């Protein structure tokens, strides 16, 4: 395989629906994946991620709607004729075959000439740093090395599209971090359009060009990682993406002020105040960094709270405070707060918080 520019690989889904009997697994999915893009599908278990990937690969039929690759409908194209390669979550290598044989097996089944197979195995092994391991059997490889062989089997065909379904879920935390960087490095190098499924929002944030957040078979939001983090389309996206999770608190709106249930009042900037002027109550979404500690003795605190737990994350800590009778999380420099501290002053970044509709949770700003 060469490190040529990938061919096209522009994927379009229009109003794709999937029903299993009476159950709707995917509702009217519209999606454009650009050439060479690394798109991450993320959402809780059962939201339809694998189903969507399998539909694109042709392993499941669509109930209605249309899928196109480079402008051509895939309706009558069987899976083996789609120029796509899929890495499944439970990838299985052939235990009796060497790494080289595992890598070349797909090409051999397609009747490619022996020389061509050897060349492409060598090229893929080089990219994945598997060259010294080509004669080993899978049982003599580490988890990460096996994972690379599984990726190599997909890459060797130089497909237009890679479909990766939780390919790192079998690995321990440290190996996952290494492999996710490696996958991005390889994908950038070969430039193949890729759809990567995960339920891990950290993986989504760190790897994606764009993220698609799904829930209950529906797309909730599509955007680049910072857009999704800073401007979640609804309270589900706000709480699903980001670590620690966003805190949600109800508050009343009164003349440009948020009024929390314990009487704390916080002024909203003009644009936010006007966006919620006509609603009586809102759901306030606070990220931990939107809650700033005020140094002792300094004024300007929006509210004061005793501190429950303080979780140390090295350079910073996450502290549990109370606002409006609800536990909220605050990001503070490590060493500034201890568990059990009392009457600590905090300021809210009212210019950055999210405001959601009480009914349905759609973003109001």
Ligand X SMILES: Nc1ncnc2c1ncn2[C@@H]1O[C@H](COP(=O)(O)OP(=O)(O)OP(=O)(O)O)[C@@H](O)[C@H]1O
Q: Please report, as ranges, the residues that interact with ligand X according to CB under 6 A.
A: 20, 23, 25, 43, 45-51, 199
With a CB cutoff of 8 Å and minimum separation 6, the contacts of 295 are none
Cα–Cα distance, 351 to 309 (Å, whole number): 27
Contacts of 323-327 with CB under 8 Å at 24 or more apart are 323/249, 323/260, 323/262, 323/264, 323/286, 323/291, 324/249, 324/250, 324/251, 324/260, 324/261, 324/262, 324/264, 325/260, 325/261, 325/262, 326/247, 326/248, 326/249, 327/247
With a CB cutoff of 8 Å and minimum separation 6, the contacts of 22 are none
Measured from the CB atom, the residue of 7 and 79 that comes closer to ligand X is: 79
Measured from the CB atom, the residue of 15 and 142 that comes closer to ligand X is: 15
* Count of beta carbons in the 10 Å neighbourhood of residue 309: 12
Q: Which does 45 bind (CB under 5 to 8 A by kind): Mg ion, ligand X, none?
A: ligand X
# binding residues, Mg ion (CB under 5 A)? 1
Q: Which does 238 bind (CB under 5 to 8 A by kind): ligand X, Mg ion, none?
A: none
Subset of residues 31 to 50 that bind Mg ion, contact rule: CB under 5 A? 50
Question: What one-character-per-residue DSSP string does 58-114 give?
Answer: TSS--SEEEEEETTEE-TT--GGGSSEEEE-TT----TTS-HHHHHHHHHHHTT--H
Q: Cβ 46 to ligand X, closest distance in Å?
A: 4
Measured from the CB atom, the residue of 130 and 197 that comes closer to ligand X is: 197
Q: Cβ 49 to Mg ion, closest distance in Å?
A: 5
Question: Which residue's beta carbon is nearest to the bound Mg ion?
Answer: 50
Cα–Cα distance, 167 to 151 (Å, whole number): 8
Contact call for residue 51 and Mg ion (CB under 5 A):
no
Contacts of 357-364 with CB under 8 Å at 24 or more apart are 357/279, 357/282, 357/283, 358/250, 358/279, 358/281, 358/282, 358/283, 360/234, 361/234, 361/235, 361/236, 361/283, 362/233, 362/234, 363/231, 363/232, 363/233, 363/234, 364/275, 364/276, 364/279, 364/282
Q: Cβ 50 to Mg ion, closest distance in Å?
A: 3
Measured from the CB atom, the residue of 53 and 128 that comes closer to Mg ion is: 53
Q: Cβ 45 to ligand X, closest distance in Å?
A: 3
Q: Which does 198 bind (CB under 5 to 8 A by kind): Mg ion, ligand X, none?
A: none
Cα–Cα distance, 355 to 364 (Å, whole number): 6
Contact call for residue 234 and Mg ion (CB under 5 A):
no
Q: Cβ 123 to ligand X, closest distance in Å?
A: 32
Measured from the CB atom, the residue of 92 and 270 that comes closer to Mg ion is: 92
Q: Which does 232 bind (CB under 5 to 8 A by kind): ligand X, Mg ion, none?
A: none
Measured from the CB atom, the residue of 192 and 198 that comes closer to ligand X is: 198
Which two tokens mark 99?
Answer: 């790494």
Measured from the CB atom, the residue of 23 and 111 that comes closer to ligand X is: 23
Q: Cβ 73 to ligand X, closest distance in Å?
A: 23
Q: Cβ 24 to Mg ion, closest distance in Å?
A: 17
Contact call for residue 220 and Mg ion (CB under 5 A):
no
Measured from the CB atom, the residue of 47 and 291 that comes closer to ligand X is: 47
Q: Cβ 213 to ligand X, closest distance in Å?
A: 12
Contact call for residue 102 and Mg ion (CB under 5 A):
no
> Which residues bind to Mg ion, rule: CB under 5 A?
50
């Amino acid at each position: 395989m060469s490190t040529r520019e990938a061919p096209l690989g522009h994927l379009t889904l229009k109003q794709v629906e999937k029903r299993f009997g009476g159950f709707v697994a995917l509702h009217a999915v519209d999606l454009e994946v650009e050439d060479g893009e690394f798109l991450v599908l993320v959402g809780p278990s059962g939201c339809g991620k694998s189903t969507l990937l399998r539909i694109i690969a042709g392993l499941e039929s669509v109930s209605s709607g249309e899928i196109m690759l480079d402008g051509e409908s895939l309706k009558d194209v069987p899976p083996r004729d789609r120029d796509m390669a899929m890495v499944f979550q439970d990838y299985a290598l052939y235990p009796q075959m060497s790494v080289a044989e595992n890598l070349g097996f797909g090409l051999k089944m397609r009747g490619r000439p022996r020389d061509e197979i050897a060349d492409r195995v060598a090229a893929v092994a080089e990219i994945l740093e598997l060259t010294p391991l080509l004669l080993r059997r899978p049982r003599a490889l580490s988890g990460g090395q096996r994972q690379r062989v599984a990726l190599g089997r997909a890459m060797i065909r130089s497909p237009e599209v890679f479909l990766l379904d939780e390919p790192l879920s079998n690995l321990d935390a440290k190996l996952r971090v290494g492999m996710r960087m490696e996958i991005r490095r390889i994908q950038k190098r070969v430039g193949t359009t890729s759809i990567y499924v995960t339920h891990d929002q950290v993986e989504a944030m760190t790897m994606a060009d764009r993220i698609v957040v799904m829930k209950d078979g529906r797309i909730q939001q599509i955007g680049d990682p910072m857009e999704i983090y800073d401007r979640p389309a609804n309270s589900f996206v706000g709480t699903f993406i980001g670590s620690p999770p966003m805190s949600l608190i109800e508050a009343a709106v009164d003349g440009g002020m948020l009024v929390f249930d314990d009487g704390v009042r916080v002024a909203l900037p003009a644009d936010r105040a006007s966006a919620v002027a006509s609603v009586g109550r809102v759901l306030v979404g606070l990220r931990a960094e939107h809650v700033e500690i005020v140094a002792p003795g300094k004024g300007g605190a929006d509210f004061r709270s005793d501190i429950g737990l303080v979780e140390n994350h090295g350079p910073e800590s996450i502290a549990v405070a109370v606002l409006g009778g609800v536990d909220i999380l605050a990001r503070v420099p490590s060493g500034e707060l201890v568990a059990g501290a009392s009457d600590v002053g905090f300021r809210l970044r009212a210019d950055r918080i999210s405001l959601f509709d009480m009914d349905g949770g759609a973003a109001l700003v």
